[in-house]
Amino acid sequence: MSLTRDDAAEALRLVEEAGARSAMLRRYENIAPHLIMWGCIYAVAYSIEFTLPQYGGLPWVILGPAGGVGGFLLAQRYGSKAGGGFFSAAILAIVAFVVASVAIMQPQDPKQLAAFVPLVVALIYTLWGLAIGRRLMVTGVCLGLLTVFGFFALPGFFLLWMAVVAGGGVALGGFWLRHA
């Protein structure tokens, strides 16, 4: 069989398409468990904050680090061998950014902090999604829009809104990625 340049070009196009799709789906499979876990953490932590306001940010003090450890384990389980190290460094950078931002801006209302962190997370999902795949980007955009909407439109129920819609939305985003 003799191949022409057009045959070769078409074959290479198929190779690149299939390889890129395979790599994207693999990244989705690696990220999906993180989104599902964090969606559940958002739902539980915001629900406790809403129903038991006397405990303030205590749910986050407990569940935040637990999520960090869980994420590290998931990165090792589903990602590459270097995934755990990358994940740890990324989490530390994000935490440092949030702590520095809060220290500088000093929010007066706890809801401001409750909205700021998911907005940072939404930005990360969106930028990450722009790099690796549309579904993650859509998840980030939706999380950001839902957070802003709840903050301004439902100030009395913002934490409950975040528990149900943002927590549930992120978890659903994880399932959406898994079944891409």
Partner 1 sequence: MSGSDEVIHQSLRLRIMATLNAMPAREQMEFTRLRAILGATDGNLGAHVATLENAGYIKVEKDFVAKKPRTRVAATAKGRKAFANHVAFLRALIEDPPTSLAAE
Q: Is 131 in the site for partner 1 (CB under 8 A)?
A: no
Nearer residue to partner 1 within complex by CB, 76 or 101:
76
Q: Is 66 in the site for partner 1 (CB under 8 A)?
A: no
Nearer residue to partner 1 within complex by CB, 10 or 109:
10
The pair of structure tokens assigned to 30 is 């690696």
| Distance in Å, CB of 145 to partner 1, minimum | 30
| Distance in Å, CB of 156 to partner 1, minimum | 44
Q: Is 52 in the site for partner 1 (CB under 8 A)?
A: no
The pair of structure tokens assigned to 36 is 């599902």
| Distance in Å, CB of 155 to partner 1, minimum | 44
| Distance in Å, CB of 114 to partner 1, minimum | 38
Residues in Cβ contact with 42 at an 8 Å cutoff, skipping those fewer than 6 apart = 118, 162, 163, 166, 167, 170
Nearer residue to partner 1 within complex by CB, 136 or 146:
136
DSSP letter string over 95-153?
HHHHHHHHHHH--SSHHHHHHHHHHHHHHHHHHHHHHH-HHHHHHHHHHHHHHHHHHHH
Segment interacting with partner 1, rule: CB under 8 A, options 7-15, 40-48, 89-97, 147-155? 7-15
| 3-class secondary-structure state, position 76 | helix
The pair of structure tokens assigned to 38 is 């964090």
Q: Is 26 in the site for partner 1 (CB under 8 A)?
A: yes
CB atoms closer than 10 angstroms to residue 177 = 25
Q: What angle do the packed helices 134-153 and 5-51 form, to 10 degrees? A: 30
Nearer residue to partner 1 within complex by CB, 148 or 180:
180
Q: Is 77 in the site for partner 1 (CB under 8 A)?
A: no
Residues near partner 1, by CB under 8 A: 1, 3-5, 8-9, 11-12, 14-23, 25-26, 80
